[in-house]
Structure 1
């Protein structure tokens, strides 16, 4: 059934943190993985964002009392079936009050695809010819160009002279990274839940990414997998429509768990990570791709520093999508049309160090509406 392991292999217990929906209490439980079981560690902190603030994070989780809730295998199976049903147990996104931020145009190839979207004005049928024209002008390998460098500034001047400068090239090779708000706190979906495509979109795709869990002091505490669902036609019409292209019901998936940084897993592993993508359609369609973090244009810690600092605080911490190398050009329909989702697609995003995040695709207006927000969480914690 699965071509990738759903959880990281050869990892000590208590290194995975998540949230489990409890149908009995109608709220989330903080959990960790021990010997194949999810254990309730809600006594350690009211929220996952609070727990990630602790200096003794690993030690306190290891010392938490045994409180098994459900086997990991049973939970993952339930999550694929439950589809966010509040009367059933399922794995939620491993974040709560944190802001959900994302970085765009952090890989050279995806940068070129954003330029193509802009030039095509959202028309997928024009993408192939525009791609050929742009590659003739500037080439298809900008991965060695350091953003913000003098070489980058020289290329910028040349492209302006050629009349092909773009706002995407500005954030791709300029000094300032693109950092935007992907989704509201509490709105992300987890393993097994449906991800949403806006019904107005006819050109869209998944974006397989590594997501860093960062506390209020800017410390990276761990990492997870994410799907930054993207509407290429909407953003291509205008970058000012980024909010509509990125933030819709169930358009952000994170999971299956946050893997904590420790002596065996850290930021260097993120820098070397390969993120695998599989899309399986009911039309017997199959797409496979790999996003190599080694090809990222900006270092992950630089992206964190551009997100938080004296200029911007996050008292509840934040999760940060690092961007993707994946830019789908494989035709799914008529020649030159490129890739777009079809309802019922099954998206798997996987990395050896983080496991696998699986989500089926549905229209966002047909997915169960998001009801459990920050106010509902505060009410739940008060009752509990």
Structure 2
């Protein structure tokens, strides 16, 4: 993972590390070094994001110098010592699906193929040819979207994925439990029952308890296409497994130079490098998202649902891998050992290696353990 976290030279970047012999700590990356900024006013990332001005708050903390970021990256790759964690702790880990037209078509194909990748190629040619162009400029929930829905229903092509893609209600689901996401350098886990799966490069928003967006980071919403394709009721099994949610490397806090308008213009790149020499590259442009990020936050949190510890929200992806890997018409699926890199210049690089959920390190440090640890350190 020689490419590192790739943080830009400007901006306020906060994250979390596991300090050997101490436990989880809130940190800020400054000038290629990492400083522990954990304090009674911000013992967790949740508390830091609750500050009215998180970037200004951490700028006023000298912190404890933990050394060069490169050393933490090396330790993270080894999975030992003081190492990077996902930059979210008590926040709920939520995700939005089917927010881009390209991925929306692929979800319809998954459903019609019943989770069978061998059937996907013929379905892709038929469905994308009939409905692809008509969906790209639609505003979800608009009168025009309603007319397209009626036409597709008449042709027998309507799908639950099209409903959340162009209907009034966004798909918002729980991707992972608080404290369970993995960070830069960790293994991401595939459920062993899956034979058709892929990475999903996404922007992830950091939102406080009042619904205010405080920053952004990167995420890999590991996706089991065959499991969800068999039945949408298997979404929980397809999405929430050990190490299936990757977030990081750091949260870039909103400040005078970076905010939601900049997030709306981000261009994400994806690279998958297999131990078999296979290489896949893709991209996801936030300019092509069908639902505005602020609307997705509002559909997640409001009078209908509160998050007292805030939440991080995956915004969805336009990336839909169709490149054949194991044979003609088979499309893409992961091999164990794949190295996945999600990147954008403003947020850095999120790098993970692919393994099985059953072989990734077990998730054992939860909320209760965090509270006991912070109490023992005199932080709460």
Q: Distance in 2 between matches of 1:347 and 1:328?
A: 13
Change (3 A) 1:56 1:139: closer
Question: Is the CA contact (8 Å cut-off) linking 1:108 and 1:141 kept in structure 2?
Answer: no
Q: Distance in 1 between matches of 2:63 and 2:101?
A: 47
Deviation of the 1:22 alpha carbon: 1.0
The aligned residue for residue 144 of structure 2 is 151
Question: Is the CA contact (8 Å cut-off) linking 1:171 and 1:178 kept in structure 2?
Answer: yes
User: Residue 279 of structure 1: which of 261, 266, 272 is its match?
Assistant: 272
Q: Distance in 2 between matches of 1:139 and 1:49?
A: 40
The aligned residue for residue 65 of structure 2 is 68
How do 1:122-201 and structure 2 match up within 5 A?
122-140=115-133, 142-201=135-194
C-alpha distance after superposition, 1:319-369 (max 9, x if no partner): 000000100000001111000000000000000000000000001101111
Question: What TM-score do the two structures reach when normalised by structure 2?
Answer: 0.97
Question: Is the CA contact (8 Å cut-off) linking 2:9 and 2:31 kept in structure 1?
Answer: no
Question: What TM-score do the two structures reach when normalised by structure 1?
Answer: 0.96
Unaligned runs of 5+ in 1: none
Q: Distance in 2 between matches of 1:62 and 1:28?
A: 20
The aligned residue for residue 378 of structure 1 is 371
Question: Is the CA contact (8 Å cut-off) linking 2:267 and 2:344 kept in structure 1?
Answer: yes
Unaligned runs of 5+ in 2: none
The aligned residue for residue 241 of structure 2 is 248
Question: Is the CA contact (8 Å cut-off) linking 1:30 and 1:40 kept in structure 2?
Answer: yes
Q: What secondary structure sits across from 2:375 in the alignment?
A: helix
Q: What secondary structure sits across from 1:312 in the alignment?
A: coil
C-alpha distance after superposition, 1:246-267 (max 9, x if no partner): 0000000000000001111111
The aligned residue for residue 9 of structure 1 is 8
Q: Distance in 1 between matches of 2:63 and 2:260?
A: 30
Q: Distance in 2 between matches of 1:248 and 1:279?
A: 21
Deviation of the 1:73 alpha carbon: 1.0
Deviation of the 1:51 alpha carbon: 1.1
Question: Is the CA contact (8 Å cut-off) linking 1:99 and 1:319 kept in structure 2?
Answer: yes
Deviation of the 1:214 alpha carbon: 0.2
Answer yes or no: is 1:55 the counterpart of 2:52: yes
User: Residue 203 of structure 1: which of 189, 196, 203 is its match?
Assistant: 196
Answer yes or no: is 1:21 the counterpart of 2:14: no
57-66 or 295-304: which moved more?
57-66
C-alpha distance after superposition, 1:45-89 (max 9, x if no partner): 12110110011322221111241012111111211111xx4xx21
How many residues of Structure 1 are paired with residues of Structure 2 in the alignment? 376
The aligned residue for residue 293 of structure 2 is 300
